[in-house]
Amino acid sequence: MKYGHFDDESREYVITRPDTPYPWINYLGCEDFFGLFSNTSGGYCFYRDARMLRLTRYRYNNVPTDTGGRYFYLRDSGAGNYSGDVWSPSWMPMKSALDRYECRHGMGYSKISSARNGLAFSQTSFVPLGDKCEIHKVTLKNESSAEKNVDMFSFVEFCLWNANDDMTNFQRNFSIGEVEIENGGSRIFHKTEYRERRNHYAVWAVNVPVAGFDTDRQTFLGLYNGFDSPQTVFVGKANNSVASGWSPIGSHHINVKLAAGESKSFVFVLGYCENPEDQKWEKQSVINKKPANALLEKYSTPEAADKALASLNDYWKSLLGRFTVNAEDKKMARMAGVWNQYQCMVTFNMSRSASYFESGIGRGMGFRDSNQDLLGFVHLVPERARERILDIAATQFPDGSAYHQYQPLTKRGNNDIGSGFNDDPLWLIFGVAAYIKETGDYGILDEMVPFDNNEALSETLFVHLKRSFEYPIKNAGPHGLPLIGRADWNDCLNLNCFSSTPGESFQTTANFESGIAESVLIAGIFVFVGPDYAEICRRTGRKEEAEYAEKEVAKMIETVNQHGWDGDWFLRAYDAYGKKIGSRECEDGKIFIESNGFAVMAGIGLEDGRAKKALDSVKQHLDSPYGIVLQQPAYKNYHIELGEISSYPPGYKENAGIFCHNNPWVTIAETKLGRGTRAFETYTKICPAYREDDSDLRRLEPYVYAQMVAGKDAVRHGEAKNSWLTGTAAWTFVSIAHYILGVRPVFDGLLIEPCIPSTMKEYTVTRYYRGADYHITVDNSAGVEKGVKSITVDGNAHNGNVLPVFADGKVHKITVIMG
C-alpha cells in the first residue's frame, strides 16, 4: 500500500500517515550545515562533519526506531467539552492520535502539519542558504469556536560535539556539560568544552518571550521517563533548570492564548556559532554571543523565515532547471527531473557519512564514492565539483593508489578503511572526465595538487590522472589483468584477506598478499575510462601519451578476451590461487553482474556477439522482479579465500542482494546493444517511484534509491535497506539522462543518442549546458528503440548527433526524429 503521494507541482513527497514502514527522511541543508529530518520530526543536525561537530544527539539502533529530534509538545488546556491534554504534533514521540497529519518533504525543507481537538499545528523546517542553522517555523491555529490556552514546549537534546565520544565516554561526559541562558530563557546556549579547546557553541532560541525554560534533561523528563512522557509538560510548567554536567538540553516553555480562529507563528533557530580565538569571551565565563545575536536578529520574524525559505525554493528551482524531463511516464519524469538529482546533491554532500543507515561517526568521504557521486552532480554546481576533485586527488599516493576515504573537516586521507583498493585510482579519471565534458574546463588539469596531502609532493592534476591510468598496468597479475588488492568496486571481494578472526576488518586485513588475485571488473573499468584519458591527452597536446593509452586499452581488451571470458558471460576475478571466480566451473558465485555490466559498457564483445550473450546470461540468471542480483548462486558457506562477500547470509548485500548501484551498468550496457525496452525495464525495476504502491514490502522512501534490495535468496525478497547514501543515485541518473533519454555531455558538446522502449513516443528534455539552454524534443513516432534519423537546431538541419556548444546565453530548440 501507499503512505503518501508525489506532489509534482511543488516538488514534494506528501506523507499522509506518520507510521510509515520505516522513518522516511529528508535532508535539510545543501552547503555546510545539515540536518536529517524524519516524517515525525526525528533526526539530528551537524556542521560540516557528522562526527566531529554534531549539534544534537541521536541514538542509533534505538527502540523505538527514530526517537529523538526537534520536538514540540503541546498542552492544550481545553475548552467546552474537551478537558484538554498533552500531545505530540509530529506524532512521535508520544504517538498521539491526530485528527489530521501530513508531512511534506521538499527540496531542502520539510513541513509537518497536524491537528487535534481543534488545535492545528504546522512546522516548517529548513536550513537557510548562507547560514549555519536550522529554522523551525511553528504555527498554531485555534480551529475551535472557543478560546484556547496552550502551553508549547520545545525540546532538543544537545550532543557534546564529538558524536562518538558522546555515545561512549560517560565517565567524562557526565561532568562537562555547560549552558548559558539569556533573554529570560528564550535563548539557550550550549557551550560544553568551549572553555577549553573549542571556539564554537550552539544556540537554540525562539523569537518570543518565554514563560520558562529547561536545560537539564532529567529535570525536564524525569529520570524514569522517556521522550514520550516528559514530566514537565504534564505538570505544565518549566523548571528553569540550569544544566551542569549530565545531559544538557534546550526546552522553551511558551504560553499561547488563541482566540477562536486565531493563529500565531514562532521562529525557532538551532544554530552553530564560531568566534575567533581571541574573541571567545565577553567576560569571565560568559561567551561572546555576537555571532548568535546576529543570526537570531536575522531570523527574528516569521516573515524573515518565509523569505529565507523562498530563497531556498528559488535556488532549487534554478538548480533543477538545468535538467528537466517531460514525458508521459510521470514516474520516470519526476525521478529523473527532480528526486534523483536531489539525491545526487545529498550524496555529493554526505558521501557515505550520515543517514539512517550510516551513523555519521564511521565513514568519511570515499575516494571511489565521491568520484562517482560527481557523475550525477557535476551538471548542478560544476564549481563545487571542481573543488571536490582537487580535494580527492590530494589524498592520492604518488604511485597512483589512494586512501580509501578522507575526513571532510581536515580533507586528509585516513587509514580507517586503509588503501589498496585497486579500482580507486581509475575513478579519478571518471570524475575529471565528467567535469571536463560538462564544462570544457581543461584548465583544471594544470592545477597543482599534493600527493598524500603533502604540499611538497605536489604535481599537476594531469600527473595524478597519469598515475591513476598507469596503476592497473603496473599492478597486473599473472594473466595480465589488474591485481585486485584489498578489493575492487565490490568491497567484499577480499581475495587477499584470509580472515578467520572474528571482528577482523575484511577491508584492512591482508593475511596473504598473494600478488596473484586479479579483477576482470577493474579491467572493464580501465577499458571504459581509458579512451577518455586518451582523449584528454590528445586535446591537451599530449599526442604520444594518447597513443600509449590507446595501445594499453587495446591490450587490456585482448587480455579480457583471452582470460576474462567464460563461454556465456564474463568472468569476475581470479582468486589468490589463480582459480576462477564467476565461472560455470564454480559451485556458487558462477555469474556476477559487475564485470558483465562494465565490460559491455566499455564496448567489449559488441562486435562478436559476446556482449549480447553476456547480457542475456545476466537476464537469465540474475534478474528478478525487483532488480538484478549481484551474483548467483549465492554463497552458502563462508569462503576464507573470498572474504566478506561470503560472510553475508544468501540474498543480502554483496552476497546476491540486489545491489542497486551496479544495476545501471547493465542498463547502460543494454543501450550499447540498442535494446531500449530492456534498458528501461532494468531502470524501472530499482526505481523507487515505481514501487510506491508496494511500500509495505519495500519499506523505504519511495522518492529515493536504496543501496540494496533483498535478493531472491532472502526471506523478504524485495525489501530495501540503506536509502539515500549510495552510488545508485549518480549511476541511475547517468543511465536515464545520458543513455536512455540520451542527452550526454561529451568533449565537444551534447551528444544525442536516445535508447528507449519502442512504446515511448515522445519526450522533452531541457538541459543547461556550457552557458546555453537546450530545449530538446524527441519524436519517436517511428516506434524504434534506438537510432536518430534527423536533428534540427533552431529550425535548421543539423549534421551528426553532437549539438555544438553555443555558450550564448540563449535558448535553442532542438528536434530529434528517431527512426
Q: Is 353 in the site for ligand BGC (CB under 6 A)?
A: no
Q: Is 553 in the site for ligand BGC (CB under 6 A)?
A: no
Return the residue of 104, 137, 200, 368 that touches ligand NOJ, per CB under 6 A. Answer: 368
- CB nearer to ligand NOJ: pick between 50 and 537: 50
Q: Is 492 in the site for ligand BGC (CB under 6 A)?
A: yes
Selection from ligand BGC, ligand NOJ, none that 368 binds (CB < 5 to 8 A by kind) is ligand NOJ
Strand order in the sheet with 119-126: 4-7, 12-15, 100-105, 109-116, 119-126, 133-142, 263-274, 200-206, 187-190, 179-182
Exposed, middle or buried: residue 480 (CB in 10 Å: 0-12, 13-18, 19+)?
A: middle
CA distance 443 to 466: 16
- CB nearer to ligand NOJ: pick between 38 and 372: 372
Selection from ligand BGC, ligand NOJ, none that 366 binds (CB < 5 to 8 A by kind) is ligand NOJ
Which part of the chain contacts ligand NOJ (CB under 6 A), choosing from 91-99, 365-373, 597-605, 746-754? 365-373
312 neighbors 134 (Cβ within 8 angstroms) = no
CB of 644 to ligand BGC, least distance (A): 6
Residue 588 falls in the annotated catalytic set: no
Beta strands 248-258 and 762-769: pairing type?
unpaired
Return the residue of 654, 670, 719, 785 that touches ligand BGC, per CB under 6 A. Answer: 654
The neighbouring-strand residues paired with 14 are 5, 104
CA 280, distance to chain mean position in Å, is 35
Q: Is 486 in the site for ligand BGC (CB under 6 A)?
A: no
Selection from ligand NOJ, ligand BGC, none that 621 binds (CB < 5 to 8 A by kind) is none
If DSSP codes are grouped into helix, strand and coil, which group holds residue 684?
helix
Q: Is 369 in the site for ligand NOJ (CB under 6 A)?
A: yes
- CB nearer to ligand NOJ: pick between 523 and 611: 523
Q: Is 368 in the site for ligand BGC (CB under 6 A)?
A: no
Question: What φ, ψ does residue 756 adopt, rounded to 5°?
Answer: -130, 170
Q: What is the residue whose three cell numbers read 513516443? A: 761
DSSP conformation letters of 62-93? -SSSS--BSEEEEEE--BTTB--EEE-TTSTT
Continuous H helices in 540-675: 543-563, 593-601, 610-622, 663-672
Tell me how crowded residue 277 is: count the other CB atoms within 10 A of its CB: 6
Beta strands 811-818 and 772-779: pairing type?
parallel
CB of 603 to ligand NOJ, least distance (A): 22
Catalytic residue among 423, 491, 532, 575: 491
- CB nearer to ligand NOJ: pick between 66 and 369: 369
CB of 256 to ligand BGC, least distance (A): 48
Task: Report the residue closest to ligand NOJ, judged by CB.
Answer: 491
Tell me how crowded residue 229 is: count the other CB atoms within 10 A of its CB: 14
CB of 369 to ligand BGC, least distance (A): 8
- CB nearer to ligand BGC: pick between 76 and 644: 644
CB of 352 to ligand NOJ, least distance (A): 5
First and final C-alpha spacing in the chain: 40
CA distance 180 to 186: 11
Q: Is 653 in the site for ligand BGC (CB under 6 A)?
A: yes
Cell numbers for 339, please give them. Answer: 528526486
CB of 491 to ligand BGC, least distance (A): 4
CB of 505 to ligand BGC, least distance (A): 8
CA distance 238 to 186: 12
CB of 427 to ligand NOJ, least distance (A): 9
State the binding string over 605-644 for ligand NOJ (x if CB under 6 A, else -). ----------------------------------------
Selection from ligand NOJ, ligand BGC, none that 132 binds (CB < 5 to 8 A by kind) is none
496 neighbors 576 (Cβ within 8 angstroms) = yes
Selection from ligand NOJ, ligand BGC, none that 369 binds (CB < 5 to 8 A by kind) is ligand NOJ
Q: Is 654 in the site for ligand NOJ (CB under 6 A)?
A: yes
CB of 392 to ligand NOJ, least distance (A): 13
Question: What φ, ψ does residue 63 adopt, rounded to 5°?
Answer: -130, 120
Q: What secondary structure letter does DSSP report for 765?
A: E
615 neighbors 666 (Cβ within 8 angstroms) = yes
99 neighbors 116 (Cβ within 8 angstroms) = yes
392 neighbors 370 (Cβ within 8 angstroms) = yes
CB of 305 to ligand NOJ, least distance (A): 36
Which part of the chain contacts ligand NOJ (CB under 6 A), choosing from 251-259, 364-372, 605-613, 673-681? 364-372
Selection from ligand NOJ, ligand BGC, none that 438 binds (CB < 5 to 8 A by kind) is none
- CB nearer to ligand BGC: pick between 464 and 486: 486
Beta strands 263-274 and 200-206: pairing type?
antiparallel
Q: Is 352 in the site for ligand NOJ (CB under 6 A)?
A: yes
Cell numbers for 224, please give them. Answer: 524514569
- CB nearer to ligand BGC: pick between 444 and 708: 708
CB of 356 to ligand BGC, least distance (A): 16
CA distance 396 to 392: 7
Handedness of CA 435, 440, 445, 449 (dihedral sign): negative
Q: Is 348 in the site for ligand NOJ (CB under 6 A)?
A: no
Selection from ligand BGC, ligand NOJ, none that 489 binds (CB < 5 to 8 A by kind) is ligand NOJ
Selection from ligand NOJ, ligand BGC, none that 403 binds (CB < 5 to 8 A by kind) is none
CB of 486 to ligand BGC, least distance (A): 10
Selection from ligand BGC, ligand NOJ, none that 177 binds (CB < 5 to 8 A by kind) is none
Q: Is 417 in the site for ligand BGC (CB under 6 A)?
A: yes
Footprint on residues 470-499 left by ligand NOJ (CB under 6 A): 489-492
Task: Give the closest residue to 815 by CA, choosing from 794, 800, 799.
Answer: 794
Selection from ligand NOJ, ligand BGC, none that 123 binds (CB < 5 to 8 A by kind) is none
Selection from ligand BGC, ligand NOJ, none that 417 binds (CB < 5 to 8 A by kind) is ligand BGC
If DSSP codes are grouped into helix, strand and coil, which group holds residue 132?
coil
CA distance 394 to 388: 10
- CB nearer to ligand BGC: pick between 326 and 415: 415
Footprint on residues 494-523 left by ligand BGC (CB under 6 A): 507
Selection from ligand BGC, ligand NOJ, none that 66 binds (CB < 5 to 8 A by kind) is none
DSSP conformation letters of 158-205? EEEE-HHHHTT-HHHHTTT-BEEEEGGGTEEEE-TTTTTT--EEEEEE
655 neighbors 493 (Cβ within 8 angstroms) = no
Q: Is 419 in the site for ligand NOJ (CB under 6 A)?
A: no
Binding site for ligand NOJ (CB under 6 A): 352, 366, 368-369, 489-492, 654, 727
Catalytic positions, written as ranges: 491
Binding site for ligand BGC (CB under 6 A): 417, 491-492, 507, 644, 653-654
